[in-house]
Amino acid sequence: MSPSKSNVRTYLCASHSLKQGGIGVRFKVHAGGEVLPAFVVRHRDGVAAFINRCGHRDLELDWSPGEFFDLESRWLICATHGAHYDPKTGACQSGPCNGVGLTVLAIIEEAGGIYLVDTRYPTQSLGIETNP
């Protein structure tokens, strides 16, 4: 990553707002004229963000806004047909995702905040959704 691109970051949420295996924060990114839903969650080793699009079909995963984890808070699960994904990498673990993982977004956590640092998405067009 070039030095100029490494400075591009957009605040997503406060670190304390994400509990391990708990409710995620939804947001949107714009890319090439398309609006893409996305989310960030905290897993047991840190935080991770993904495009909110199942590998099985072009549907969002959460069964209720921000609810991405299974009952054991171990896997991300798609509400439609039950595909399971690794919350750290987005890799398909089981179910109808058939080996197709989630698209990972680059983020960092520092100084009590979580930031999108993915240069594929212009920061000025990002919208954060608050969870109920």
Residues that bind ligand FES (CB under 6 A): 54, 56-57, 59, 78, 80-83, 95-96
Q: Give the pair of three-digit tokens for residue 127.
A: 């919208």
**Is the separation of the CB atoms in 40 and 24 below 8 Å?**
yes
- Least gap, CB of 103 to ligand FES (angstroms): 14
- Least gap, CB of 55 to ligand FES (angstroms): 7
Q: Is 59 left (phi over 0), alpha (psi -120 to 50) or beta?
A: beta
Q: Which is nearer to ligand FES, 1 or 59 (CB)?
A: 59
User: Which H helix or E strand runs over 76?
Assistant: strand 76-77
Q: Is 101 left (phi over 0), alpha (psi -120 to 50) or beta?
A: beta
Q: Which is nearer to ligand FES, 78 or 117 (CB)?
A: 78
Q: Which is nearer to ligand FES, 17 or 80 (CB)?
A: 80
- Least gap, CB of 64 to ligand FES (angstroms): 15
3-state secondary structure of 53: coil
- Least gap, CB of 61 to ligand FES (angstroms): 7
Q: Which is nearer to ligand FES, 36 or 128 (CB)?
A: 36
3-state secondary structure of 92: strand
